[in-house]
Structure 1
Amino acid sequence: MCSSTNFALLLYILFIVRTNADVIEILAKIFLEPNDVVVVILSQKEGYHAAHADYMRRQIYEQASALEKESPKVVLSHELDIKGSWTITPLLIYLSDKFPNTKWFFFCLENTMIQLAKLLNVLGKFDASQNIWIGHALYDHEPTIIHHFAKNIKKFKYPLMATGFGMTFNLVNSLSQQSYESWKTDFSIDASYEFAEFVLKSTNVKLMHIPKICIVSGPDCATYPRFFHPCSSSISLKNVYFAVKTCAKYHVNRIPVIKNLWAKHAINIGYFSDKADKNLREAYIVPNTTEGHCAKTYGILQRASNMMERYKYDWLVIGDDDTIFSVVRLLRLLTCYNPTHSIAIGERYGFRMWNSHHGYQYLTGGAGIVLSAPLVHNMIKTGVCNCPSATTPDDMYLFGVCLSRLGVEPVHSSMFHQARPADYATAYLASQEPISFHRFWMVDPEAIYDEWFAETDSILPKQPLKHTEL
């Protein structure tokens, strides 16, 4: 039965419009059918993530069936094999060509929960013939490194990807016809922010904030992010080896901090430095440089590979001496991956993703990187990961170029963070359970750990200092 508002609207239409053809045309603009929408899930190929994306697709189909309507078309980006699809822009030409008769595209992640009827109601309030962009708007409180220290804070809005965002076909089509030349950047760091810059500069369209595209679940929410749930009981700490990259100048002011925070819970941990001294007698010696650090990290992989083979560790976690982890959340995350496969997990960045031949994605080192034992062994034994020079950027080469050569696609998790909590929008962090933060610059690392991780990690006992020998 129609609501009184809708009934009044119908009477008004019938009063002012004289022909049946005109009535049909106007009603078609007002009422949105599920098959007027294409849902684009920015998915990943790895089994756990692909399964979640497929489950989400089936949930959308089931909701449409319950409404007795033809389902929206659902696109899983990993099935398209379009390079750099996670940055969104490379998808636009394909989408506008493939779905010329749609009205809306809704972009989201595999952990976005969609209430189809409510989403249709939200989208249906707008004129789909216009250039419209809606979502849950984020903004920066201050210039931040992850957004290239841009000064357009507060006024510049970008979408929270975990809640999804909607774009009319007209807008997507208009964007697909833009020249990308002037927006080719070397580094892709935050896809939603960089995409918002592209939209604004190309079409002058700003993101419209919609409260019903929610951060947390609520009765009126059209979408909201699903928080991470472990796939089984937490794996044992005995199966994980932590490697901390450091150097002598940080032995005094960094190593004691992390030993007092997350490292006190790690059973198997090693500190890799340029030398051992009275402040870190247990350091493993690896080559050290003032930049790049490829030889240093490769040395860690060599040492860790031997340890993992001898002690049967499943996972290697590499972090900087100013990286802070929640050990419990990390263990919970790893329950969803098979350690017998070649897997690399962390925060994904991109280098020249617009270049189809030489661009690549990689895992950024400061956020922490997790590698399965088979992958560690393979990186060392095959020889394809030998550093071009000692100062080659370690994360870009070892966890980007090298992984590509091995046929391993890195797994992105938004729970890893290359920067400090202050460098992220409040709503962004509220939509997840962080695993890591990076950098001690202008922050109190103990306060960060206490606020974000201490309560979660409190279920773990403090481990006695242990030095694993080969």
Structure 2
Amino acid sequence: MLPNNLHTGPRVARYLIFLSFFHHNLVTGSSNKDSQSHDAMNVVSNSQLDLRQIVFVIQSQSNSFHVRRAERLRASVLQQATDLTENPPVVLFLHSLSDNEGDWSILPLLPHFSNTFGKNSSWIVFLEEETNVKVGELLKVLAKFDSTKEWFLGKPLHDEESTIIHHYAFAEDPPQFKYPDFSAGWALSVSLVQRLADRVRDEPLKSDFTIDLKHEVALYIWDHGEGLRLTGVPGLCTELQDSPLARHCTTTLSSQAPACGEAVDKEDLFVAVKTCKKFHAERVPVVKKTWEKEASLLEYYSDHADPSIPTINLGVPNTERGHCGKTFAILKQFVSGAVPETKWLIIVDDDTLISLPRLRALLGCYDASEAVCLGERYGYGLSQGGYSYITGGGGMVFSREAVLQLLQSGCKCYSDDAPDDMVLGMCFNALGLAVTHSPLFHQARPEDYAPDYLSHQVPISFHKHWNIDPVAVFNTWLREGSQTTETEPLNKTTKTEL
């Protein structure tokens, strides 16, 4: 029996969050500690910094492919450390620190980091699985900062315009707020970790949505202007490791997208497009003009059978939000024998733009015999026993094994208009199956993300057609051979939900 505490759906909750953030950012002044990030008095030369004073945390995931990537990074860090010293640093895997589903959101772990490393360490350095680090150079970078003071270091990103994924924060001046690009690595001084840990203990973290972790961590540290802003570090980079531009970088990226050999065959991927009668004429033609031709097996599922498309009526009435009944009907259809048997299923909205060749290349990294649920990960109530889920707009990818385990569990919608992605998240959480995050799936449009963030990606999907030309967006960002560069800014007068 699923709980009924989500009957309002994620859109209402996100709208309430937006209102609170919008009001807050209109009335909040600048940070009382802004000057710290520019105050040279706080930067010192500390040639005595020792590797044992650094704790590396790899932002790993439990899926076997991601564990292998994390293990390679840990081996690289430790080998470099061995070449530099006889005393290696601590290197941790984020996904294995505890059984808490919310550990990937970092903030609930701050008390653990403070208790475990507060006395003998100076820095907590976070690395994503694809981040390469020159350990000796990192030591030199960190030695420039007095670790007895509070520091939040990273490669700064900023929004060009207020955006839905950040709840329209800093609406009057979006570029003023900087947040770290996790791909470049980021670091917290232990003195800052200790203060933040005390705050987490004294003021329980709010139980709401985790949508863009890097922005939300920066907001928490900024603390309504009473805390700390991000200090940019030029050596933390997102250049490719073999690029000439990377020679002065302390961190680099191994690739823009994982390369795992053979892509999944077209015949091993079944594509299910959720639509409804009122969007048959408006949205389905965009799919047909853009990415449909790359699908070998694709069906449109609707509340109305239209042979001209064609669409299949699943017998589930259309709902204005949620679509849980329709999604579960698709999952049952996938394993019923009514469609060709494939290893993978992707469910997308009719306003999702996606590169199926890139998706098939990515799926080549994963073992279809495992229960895999893949896409852009969000969280709900992670600090208080909540769960993670793959947000639907960017595309939800399932291995056949994941679908079979889900349906065999008996987990189901509590109503047809329940939020399908969140219900699926609750089901997988109850089964003890972690969802797998890829930053290459996007719930929003390209202009809703920082240009520097997208510049080092080969994206797989974007979502929403409002105030854009979706065919132009597909051709620019997702068509094979396209240049993944920033599109021209478009007029954005309409606000909507994710």
Fold conserved between structures, TM > 0.5: yes
CA shift digits 1:171-228 (9 cap, x unpaired):
1111101046475151000111111111011762110111110120401111123322
Distance 2:220 2:163 in 1: 18
- Pairing partner for 1:306 from 331, 336, 341: 336
Q: Matches of residues 236-385 of structure 1 in structure 2 within 5 Å?
A: 236-277=265-306, 279-287=308-316, 288-307=318-337, 311-356=340-385, 359-384=386-411
Q: Given that residues 237 and 251 in structure 2 are in contact (C-alpha distance below 8 angstroms), is that contact kept between their aligned partners in structure 1?
A: yes
Which residue pairs with 1:157 in the alignment?
Answer: 178
- Pairing partner for 1:147 from 145, 159, 166: 166
1:102 corresponds to which letter in structure 2?
Answer: S
Distance 1:101 1:338 in 2: 40
Give SS of 1:300's match.
helix
Query: What is the TM-score normalised by the length of structure 1?
Result: 0.87
Distance 1:286 1:209 in 2: 54
Distance 1:306 1:83 in 2: 32
2:353 corresponds to which letter in structure 1?
Answer: I
Q: Given that residues 162 and 431 in structure 1 are in contact (C-alpha distance below 8 angstroms), is that contact kept between their aligned partners in structure 2?
A: no
Report the Cα offset of residue 303 of structure 1. 1.1
Which residue pairs with 1:7 in the alignment?
Answer: none
Change (3 A) 1:102 1:182: closer
- Pairing partner for 1:167 from 173, 179, 188: 188
Which residue pairs with 2:492 in the alignment?
Answer: none
Report the Cα offset of residue 377 of structure 1. 2.3
Report the Cα offset of residue 85 of structure 1. 1.5
Distance 1:304 1:233 in 2: 24
Give SS of 1:272's match.
strand
Alignment pair present for 1:126 and 2:149: no
Distance 1:403 1:32 in 2: 44
- Pairing partner for 1:223 from 251, 262, 271: 251
Give SS of 2:262's match.
coil
Which residue pairs with 2:39 in the alignment?
Answer: none
Alignment pair present for 1:78 and 2:95: yes
Q: Given that residues 236 and 250 in structure 2 are in contact (C-alpha distance below 8 angstroms), is that contact kept between their aligned partners in structure 1?
A: yes
Query: What is the TM-score normalised by the length of structure 2?
Result: 0.82
Structure index of larger Rg: 1
Distance 2:347 2:135 in 1: 41
Alignment pair present for 1:55 and 2:72: yes
Report the Cα offset of residue 416 of structure 1. 0.6
2:287 corresponds to which letter in structure 1?
Answer: I
Distance 2:354 2:262 in 1: 19
1:132 corresponds to which letter in structure 2?
Answer: W
Which residue pairs with 1:12 in the alignment?
Answer: none
Alignment pair present for 1:191 and 2:217: no
Which residue pairs with 2:155 in the alignment?
Answer: 136
Structure 1 residue ranges, 4+ long, deviating more than 4 angstroms after superposition: none
Aligned length: 427
Report the Cα offset of residue 431 of structure 1. 2.2
Which residue pairs with 1:5 in the alignment?
Answer: none
Which residue pairs with 1:94 in the alignment?
Answer: 112
Larger RCO (CA within 8 A; separation ≥ 6): 2
CA shift digits 1:40-84 (9 cap, x unpaired):
111111101011111111110100111234222111111112431
Which residue pairs with 1:19 in the alignment?
Answer: none
Which residue pairs with 2:449 in the alignment?
Answer: 424
Alignment pair present for 1:177 and 2:182: no
Which stretches in structure 1 are left out of the alignment for 5+ residues?
1-26, 459-470
Q: Given that residues 324 and 437 in structure 1 are in contact (C-alpha distance below 8 angstroms), is that contact kept between their aligned partners in structure 2?
A: yes
Q: Given that residues 419 and 438 in structure 1 are in contact (C-alpha distance below 8 angstroms), is that contact kept between their aligned partners in structure 2?
A: yes
Q: Given that residues 179 and 215 in structure 2 are in contact (C-alpha distance below 8 angstroms), is that contact kept between their aligned partners in structure 1?
A: yes
Report the Cα offset of residue 432 of structure 1. 1.9
Give SS of 1:166's match.
strand
Which residue pairs with 1:387 in the alignment?
Answer: 413
Distance 2:95 2:482 in 1: 34
Distance 2:235 2:124 in 1: 17
1:422 corresponds to which letter in structure 2?
Answer: E
1:205 corresponds to which letter in structure 2?
Answer: L
CA shift digits 1:262-298 (9 cap, x unpaired):
1111010000000023653343434121121111111
Q: Given that residues 326 and 456 in structure 1 are in contact (C-alpha distance below 8 angstroms), is that contact kept between their aligned partners in structure 2?
A: no
CA shift digits 1:285-332 (9 cap, x unpaired):
341211211111111111122248x63300001000010111111011
Q: Given that residues 476 and 482 in structure 2 are in contact (C-alpha distance below 8 angstroms), is that contact kept between their aligned partners in structure 1?
A: no
Q: Given that residues 327 and 457 in structure 1 are in contact (C-alpha distance below 8 angstroms), is that contact kept between their aligned partners in structure 2?
A: no
Which stretches in structure 2 are left out of the alignment for 5+ residues?
1-43, 484-498
Distance 2:249 2:337 in 1: 49
Distance 2:158 2:407 in 1: 42
